[in-house]
Amino acid sequence: MSFTFYFPTKLVFSEEAGSDLLVELASAAPDGVLLLTDKGIIQAGIASKILSKLEEKGFTPVVFDDIPGNPNIPDVKKALAAIEGKHITHVVALGGGSVLDVAKAVGLLLGDPELDYEEVQWHRQAIKKTPLPVIGIPTTAGTGSEVTHVAVVGDSKGFKMGVLHPAMFMKTAIIDGSLMLSLPPQMTSTTGMDSLVHAIEAFLSRKANPVSDMFALSAIRSIVKWLPEAYKNGSNLEARKQMAMAATLAGISFDQSSLGLVHALAGPLCGTYHLHHGLGVATLLPATIEFDAPAIPTERWVSLRDALGLPQDAKPEGLGNFARKLLKTLDMPTRLSEVGLKAEDIPVIAETATKMAMIGLNVRPADVEDCKKVLEAGL
């Protein structure tokens, strides 16, 4: 079996993100740092913890917090306009996936000002220069963007476009679970389920390999153990730390081995009904994993079964019920109708899903009719 595993990002599993950030900024000028975040992070007081550390050491970073939940190219341009005339050498991203992805785009464009990001998105311009160093500090245990070589930002019309290139890897990811202590229960559950689906789909992907498997299985074990606790008791620091690490491990696994049918369906489903991505993948999981179950190889089933903590006599066909039980534990919907899916929209969503690249790596091949059946079963 031939495969490649390339992961250049430095990982710092931190007890104090601000202090570790200073180490990563040792070569930066006091006025050469751009801190990207969002207004929720500012209001929650998370940003002040990081900024106070920087200011103690004489840094005067430019802070840009106008990043929405679903950023598009105009949002990237706003961030660039905020630093016009300044000599930025390091980009710091403090937030969830949206902030992290915008930071990757900004770092790329600062490294090569001649690039037009939309031209890069549509493969009309090639990435040739090294981006500025981007340091990611995730505040949710979900997207894994801090460890992937893709940035998903909408184009000028809002169409979600992923730029997939080794240059999009961050220089450093600082993982500090204490920054997630104030994450609301609903956001804890939706982002945590996103991580679980990342890991499951990465493990079942046709592109999975022995190295990505180690990350995926470790993430699965941690998430099924710690997500319910993090949801019910958000002040449990150990649960937050474990979920932060698991989300990162899941991100590494799917970045290396890709995703599958859940995420292929989630793209058009979430776009149609403007759903949070984590809510979409979570609600899709039961019906999709039931569809996939017959195709799971026996040897992989044993490893997946054990990672999920299922009894030795458990069968793949019981995975749907496992997923529904977990969702109920997290007070999340188990039917797609609960998040807005209408029967009349199924054909278009199914057709769009078949155009998503990751569907070709799903453990069980799925065509338009299969996608329809999955959506109907989950309705």
- 106-126 pLDDT, tens digit per residue, is 999 999 999 999 999 999 999
What residues contact residue 159 under an 8 Å CB cut-off, 6+ apart? none
CATH number at residue 103: 3.40.50.1970
Cα-trace Rg, the chain: 20
CA distance 1 to 19: 42
Nearest in space to 220 (alpha carbons), one of 241, 239, 201: 201
Residues 156 and 208 in one domain: no
What does the longest C-alpha to C-alpha distance in the chain come to? 65
- Choose one of 179, 211, 226: the last residue of a domain: 179
CB 129 within 8 A of CB 9: no
Nearest in space to 255 (alpha carbons), one of 329, 134, 361, 341: 361
Total domains in the chain come to: 2
Average pLDDT value for residue range 362-371: 98
- Whether the pLDDT of residue 174 is over 90: the answer is yes
Side-chain half-sphere CA neighbours of 244 within 13 A: 30
Average pLDDT value for residue range 30-55: 95
Question: What type of residue is 265?
Answer: L
Check residue 168 and give its pLDDT.
97
Residues 239 and 356 in one domain: yes
Query: In this structure, is residue 217 part of a structural domain?
Result: yes
Check residue 159 and give its pLDDT.
73
With bands split at pLDDT 50, 70 and 90, how would you rate the model's confidence at 128? Answer: very high
Residues 235 and 320 in one domain: yes
With bands split at pLDDT 50, 70 and 90, how would you rate the model's confidence at 154? Answer: confident
Residues 268 and 315 in one domain: yes
- Whether the pLDDT of residue 339 is over 90: the answer is yes
With bands split at pLDDT 50, 70 and 90, how would you rate the model's confidence at 59? Answer: very high
- Whether the pLDDT of residue 158 is over 90: the answer is no
Helix (H, G, I), strand (E, B) or coil at 45: coil
- Choose one of 129, 162, 179: the last residue of a domain: 179
What residues contact residue 56 under an 8 Å CB cut-off, 6+ apart? none
- Choose one of 179, 203, 238: the last residue of a domain: 179
With bands split at pLDDT 50, 70 and 90, how would you rate the model's confidence at 285? Answer: very high
Query: In this structure, is residue 3 part of a structural domain?
Result: no
Query: In this structure, is residue 1 part of a structural domain?
Result: no
Average pLDDT value for residue range 168-184: 97
CB 145 within 8 A of CB 175: no
Residues 62 and 142 in one domain: yes
Residues 63 and 162 in one domain: yes
249-280 pLDDT, tens digit per residue, is 999 999 999 999 999 999 999 989 989 999 99
Check residue 161 and give its pLDDT.
77
- Whether the pLDDT of residue 69 is over 90: the answer is no
- Indicate the average pLDDT of the chain: 96
Check residue 155 and give its pLDDT.
81
Q: Going edge to edge, which strands form the sheet with 10-13?
A: 10-13, 172-175, 134-138, 90-95, 33-36, 62-64
Check residue 55 and give its pLDDT.
95
- Whether the pLDDT of residue 1 is over 80: the answer is no
206-243 pLDDT, tens digit per residue, is 999 999 999 999 999 999 999 999 999 999 999 999 99
Residues 233 and 137 in one domain: no
- Whether the pLDDT of residue 150 is over 80: the answer is yes
Query: In this structure, is residue 2 part of a structural domain?
Result: no
Average pLDDT value for residue range 40-58: 95
Residues 351 and 333 in one domain: yes
Q: Is the CA virtual torsion 163, 39, 192, 331 positive or negative? A: negative
CB 284 within 8 A of CB 200: no
Q: Which domain holds residue 23?
A: 10-179
Residues 167 and 205 in one domain: no
Residues 60 and 155 in one domain: yes
Residues 216 and 339 in one domain: yes
